[in-house]
A and B are shown apart, each in its own frame.
Chain A
Amino acid sequence: MIDVENLIKEFGPKRAVNGVSFTIRRGEILGFLGPNGAGKSTTMRMITGFFPPTSGRVRIGGHDMAEEPIAAKKLIGYLPESAPCYSDMTVNGFLRFTAELRGMRGAQIDDAVAKVAGLCFLEGVLHQSVDTLSKGYRHRTCFAQSILHDPEVLVLDEPTDGLDPNQKHEVRQIIKRMGQTKAIIFSTHILEEVEACCSRAIIIDRGTVVANGTPAELKARAETAGSVHLRVRNVAAETLKSKLGSLPVAGRVSLQDNTDGSLSARVFPRDKSTRADLSLSVAQTATQSGWSFDELHTEEGRLDDVFRAITLPDSVKTRE
């Protein structure tokens, strides 16, 4: 549904987006990640046709944004980053206005407004003026506007920003539900969100895509991914290290003293092929040696670590 081809956007001498390409099919939810200023919002503004790209192409459902902007825009629901609303209107008036611009008429508008008001918990404030609303309500009003016409494509710039945990959960549920039949792209800084609802994630840094895969694939790129974590009590550090280190499937072993007196070992696989057998070998060693352990698990890798490893400037990495 969304086809982005080699997008470039320059503001004067500065290149904000530098050759971004990806495709999102129906039924996919794409998480769009990246540090501040990486070009997320600029890319989304080009997808929605607000910014014309310096070069490259955006196609929505087969319609080229540059050649058939109206046909392409009809398919999109868009929540801009700051969730702007017309402050001199009531919530109801605002939603009706956007419904009319979306080409709805009469009873169709009443139904659509009633439906999204229910979905976004806006019934209580429908006749309140937008400028008297709290930030969360304003945000949901703008979100309601984006799903009002049941669009094929949803572009959401930080949809859960500024919401309380309950509202965040609700918005995620809506996104997940809509994602079954639509193409959705949303940007976020919250990595758990990506794991919770995305079928795919893209990390963008300084205007270029630096990673593109399912959340599980991305997590597997973490340094700690596939390592086995074991926590034991009353075992000497040297014994632990030598026994675990001598396993044929094990590579490096690192130890850590915990505050409660227990000892944690992290065993890395020797290489990718030994990953699968590692946890079993460690468990057998521990039982055969008679160690009392209260924790044993295989690390999946954390998205945070991957994100940091990929997007941190080299200067910061060496300083740490």
Chain B
Amino acid sequence: MNESLRNIWTILKRELNGYFASPVAYVFIVIFLLLNGFFTFMLGGFFELGEASLSRPFFNWHPWLYLFLVPAAGMRLWAEERRVGTLELLLTMPVTAAQAIIGKFLACWAFLALALALTFPVVGSVYYLGHPDGGAIFAGYVGSLLLAGSYLAVTVATSAITRNQVISFILSVVICFFLILAGWEPVTSLLVRWAPAGLVELVTGFSVMPHFASFQRGVIDFRDLLFFASVIVFSLFGTSVILRGLRGA
């Protein structure tokens, strides 16, 4: 393993252990699963729909569920380092800021992936009750994971802006909310009535919704992958700019 991968791995391990060293991880997972169950079976009308699919009753809620839960999981990543002063320790070690950012991001993403993986009983139910399209479920999970990753990357950036976790949380919720609204149908249909087509397209171009929708339908399109990847890369790059600015460069 080369040196930068090893550094990323060391930082990832520390962060991940950090989640499980405190009750945060367990509280988070329990709430995530409870809310998922509530939305799927109560609000989503899983049984009433009578179709062997997870698209509507399950994945439909994820952009909204993640809106609050992902910033809650990621808000401490840099804010806490800044508050306690360990940022100085970390950045004077022989590691680059990029390695630290990627290590932290991957740690939290892996944690979110674990929480998502624990929703497997929903998949079990749908297989027990009918004959769902396995490919569509798989694509939905991939899309959901990428969606969480995009929100998380935004949270990583907002977390570097401040030493206050609450501010970091609120900022990332607002930004992620914009990422939803820009392409959410009720909003776009309002926009279509008066705005030129070009503007509507530009605004919706920022949104996670149309890209997530195609995953929900079971389509893994290269363009959608590229969209989520670019949101993640852009936000993480922004984080490195923020961290550099912080030190007065």
Chain A residues proximal to chain B, CB less than 8 Å: 9-11, 45, 48-52, 54, 69-70, 73-74, 76, 78, 80, 82, 84-89, 93, 97-98, 100-103, 129, 142, 145
Contact = CB atoms under 8 A, between A and B. Distances in A.
B93 interface: yes
A49 B249 CA distance: 11
A150 to B, nearest CB: 14
A101 B95 contact: yes
A108 to B, nearest CB: 14
Contact of B247 (A10, A52, A78): A52
A102 B94 contact: yes
Contacts of B189: none
5 contacts: A52-B249, A69-B96, A78-B92, A80-B88, A88-B18
A240 B16 CA distance: 78
A73 B90 CA distance: 11
B80 to A, nearest CB: 9
A51 B10 contact: no
Interface string B1-45: 001001100110010011001100000000000000000000000
Contacts of B91: 49-50
B10 A82 contact: no
A54 B244 CA distance: 13
Contact of B248 (A11, A89, A98, A100): A11
A48 B95 contact: no
Contacts of B18: 86, 88-89
Contacts of B95: 70, 101
A76 B92 contact: yes
Contacts of A129: 21
A67 to B, nearest CB: 14
Interface of B: 3, 6-7, 10-11, 14, 17-18, 21-22, 84-86, 88-89, 91-96, 244, 247-249
A52 B249 CA distance: 6
Contact of A50 (B7, B11, B92, B94): B92
A84 B84 contact: yes
Q: State the main secondary structure of chain B at its contact with A.
A: helix
Contacts, number: 74
Contacts of A82: 85
A51 B89 contact: no
A96 to B, nearest CB: 10
B165 to A, nearest CB: 14
Nearest to B90: A101
B93 to A, nearest CB: 5
A101 B248 contact: no
B248 A73 contact: no
Given A11-B248, A101-B10, 11 more contacts: A70-B95, A73-B94, A78-B92, A80-B88, A84-B88, A88-B22, A97-B14, A100-B6, A101-B11, A101-B94, A102-B94
Given A84-B86, A86-B14, A86-B18, A102 B93 contact: yes
Of the listed residues A45, A69, A101, A103, the one surrounded by the most CB atoms of chain B closer than 10 A to its CB is: A101
Of the listed residues A70, A76, A89, the one surrounded by the most CB atoms of chain B closer than 10 A to its CB is: A70
B113 to A, nearest CB: 21
Contacts of B86: 84-86
A145 B93 CA distance: 11
Contacts of A142: 89
Nearest to A101: B93
A89 B14 contact: yes
B21 A88 contact: yes
Contacts of B10: 97, 100-101
Contacts of A88: 18, 21-22
